[in-house]
Structure 1
Amino acid sequence: MLQAIGLTSIHRRDLPLIHRRDLPPAVDDLTFEARSGSVTALLGAPGSGKTAALRLMLELDSGRGVTYYRGSPLHRIAHPAREVGVLLGDVPGHPARTARGQLRMLCAAAGVSASRAEEMLDVVGLAALGGQRLDMLSLGMDRRLGLASALLGDPQTLILDEPCRGLSPGENSWLYGLLRSRASCGGTVLLTTSDPKEAARLADRVITLDEGRLVADQDAAVFARTRLRPRVAVRTPHAVRLAAAVAREARVAQRSVEVVTEEGGLLSVYGSNCAEIGETAFRHGVLVHRLSDEVGDTGPAVTQAPAPAPVPEAQERPVPAAAERPGPLGPPPPPRPVRSPLRPLRYEIRRLLGVRTAALIAAAALVASLALCVLLARISDTPLPALLAAWPDYLPLPPAAFGAGLVGALSYGEEFRYPALAAARGTVPRRLGLLLAKLTVTAVFALLLAVLVAVADAQALRLVYGTDMTPAPRNWPVLVASWGGLAVGCAWAGLLAAGVFRVTAAGVAAVLAVPVLIAPLVQAALVVPSARSIAGLPGRLRELAWVQLPQQADLWLMVAVRLVAQPFGAALALSLSALICAYLFTGLRRRARW
Structure 2
Amino acid sequence: MIQATGLTSNPKKDQPPTIDDVSFEARAGRVTALLGAVPAETADVLRLMLQLEPGRGVTYFRGRPLNRIAHPSREVGILLGDVPGHPARTVRGQLRMLCAATGVPVTRADEVLEVVGLVSLRDERLGTLSRGMDRRLGLACALLADPHTLVLNAPAEALSAREAAWLHAMLRAHAQQGGTVLFTTSDPKEAARAADRVITLEQGCVVADQDAADFARTRLRPRVAIRSPHAARLLALLTKEARVARRSVEVVREDGNRLSVYGSTTADVGETAYKHGVLLHQLADEVGDSGPPPPPQEPSATAAPHPGTAPAPSSAAAASHPGTAPTPPSATAASLPGTAPTPASATAAPHPHTAPATPASHPQPAPTPAPADPQATAVPAYTQDAKQSESDEKPGAPANKNANDGSQPVTSGPLHPLPPPITVHPARSPLRPLRYELRRATGIPTGYLTVALVLAVSALISVVQARTGHTPLPRLLAAWPYELPLPPAALGAGLLGALSFGDEFKHPALAADRGTVPRRLGLLAAKLVVCAATALLIAALVLLSDAALLHVVYGEEVTRLPADWPSLTASWLCLLTGCSWAGLLAAGVFRSTAAGLAALLAVPVVLVPVVQKALAGPSVRTAAGLPARLRDLALVQWPIGSEHYVAGAVRMLAQPIAFTLVLSLATLMAAYLLTSMRSRLR
Q: Which residue of 2 aligns with 1:306?
A: 330
Q: 1:97 to 1:456 in 2, by over 3 A?
A: same
Q: Which residue of 1 aligns with 2:23?
A: 31
Deviation of 1:552 after TM superposition, in Å, equals 5.3
Q: Which residue of 2 aligns with 1:572?
A: 661
Query: More helix by proportion, 1 or 2?
Result: 1
1:71 and 1:426 map into 2 onto residues whose CA distance is: 28
Deviation of 1:188 after TM superposition, in Å, equals 0.7
1:363 and 1:55 map into 2 onto residues whose CA distance is: 43
Deviations 1:336-367 (A, max 9, x none): 33433111110000000011111111111111
Q: Which residue of 1 aligns with 2:197?
A: 205
Deviation of 1:424 after TM superposition, in Å, equals 8.0
Give the count of matched residue pairs.
583
**Structure 2 counterpart of 1:172, one-letter code:** A
Question: Secondary structure of the equivalent of 2:132?
Answer: helix
TM-score for both structures, normalised by structure 2: 0.80
Deviation of 1:527 after TM superposition, in Å, equals 0.9
1:490 and 1:138 map into 2 onto residues whose CA distance is: 39
Deviations 1:553-575 (A, max 9, x none): 54443333322221111221222
Q: Which residue of 2 aligns with 1:14?
A: none
Q: Which residue of 2 aligns with 1:16?
A: none
Q: 1:334 to 1:257 in 2, by over 3 A?
A: same
Q: 1:549 to 1:424 in 2, by over 3 A?
A: farther
| Contact preservation (8 Å) 1:500, 1:586 | yes
Deviation of 1:543 after TM superposition, in Å, equals 5.2
1:281 and 1:418 map into 2 onto residues whose CA distance is: 57
Question: Secondary structure of the equivalent of 1:568?
Answer: helix
TM-score for both structures, normalised by structure 1: 0.92
Within the candidate set 452, 456, 466, 1:377 is matched to 466
**Structure 2 counterpart of 1:459, one-letter code:** A
Deviation of 1:380 after TM superposition, in Å, equals 3.1
Q: 1:327 to 1:196 in 2, by over 3 A?
A: farther
| Contact preservation (8 Å) 1:60, 1:426 | no
Is 1:357 matched with 2:415?
A: no
Within the candidate set 322, 325, 330, 2:380 is matched to 322
Map 1:177-576 to 2 at 5 A: 177-301=169-293, 305-306=329-330, 321-323=379-381, 329=418, 332-423=421-512, 427-542=516-631, 544-545=633-634, 547-551=636-640, 553-576=642-665
Deviation of 1:281 after TM superposition, in Å, equals 3.1
Deviation of 1:589 after TM superposition, in Å, equals 4.7
The answer for unaligned runs of 5 or more in structure 2 is: 297-327, 332-345, 355-368, 372-376, 384-414
1:432 and 1:149 map into 2 onto residues whose CA distance is: 25
| Contact preservation (8 Å) 2:587, 2:593 | yes
Q: Report which of the two structures shows the higher radius of gyration computed on alpha carbons.
A: 2
Q: 1:210 to 1:544 in 2, by over 3 A?
A: farther
Within the candidate set 96, 115, 118, 2:88 is matched to 96
Deviations 1:241-278 (A, max 9, x none): 43343333333333322222333243222111111122
Question: Secondary structure of the equivalent of 1:206?
Answer: strand
Q: 1:422 to 1:542 in 2, by over 3 A?
A: same
**Structure 1 counterpart of 2:380, one-letter code:** A
* Sequence identity percentage: 61
Q: 1:541 to 1:50 in 2, by over 3 A?
A: farther
| Contact preservation (8 Å) 2:505, 2:515 | no
**Structure 1 counterpart of 2:615, one-letter code:** L
1:22 and 1:263 map into 2 onto residues whose CA distance is: 37
Question: Secondary structure of the equivalent of 2:330?
Answer: coil
**Structure 2 counterpart of 1:34, one-letter code:** A
2:675 and 2:15 map into 1 onto residues whose CA distance is: 29
Deviation of 1:418 after TM superposition, in Å, equals 1.8
**Structure 2 counterpart of 1:5, one-letter code:** T
- Range with greater deviation from structure 2 (144-153 or 232-241): 232-241
Q: 1:310 to 1:352 in 2, by over 3 A?
A: farther
- Range with greater deviation from structure 2 (208-217 or 454-463): 454-463
**Structure 1 counterpart of 2:4, one-letter code:** A
Deviations 1:149-198 (A, max 9, x none): 11110000111111111212221221122111110110111111111111
2:552 and 2:565 map into 1 onto residues whose CA distance is: 22
Is 1:169 matched with 2:193?
A: no
Question: Secondary structure of the equivalent of 2:519?
Answer: coil
**Structure 2 counterpart of 1:4, one-letter code:** A
The answer for unaligned runs of 5 or more in structure 1 is: 12-19
2:280 and 2:649 map into 1 onto residues whose CA distance is: 89
| Contact preservation (8 Å) 1:234, 1:266 | yes
Deviation of 1:542 after TM superposition, in Å, equals 4.4
- Range with greater deviation from structure 2 (113-122 or 337-346): 337-346
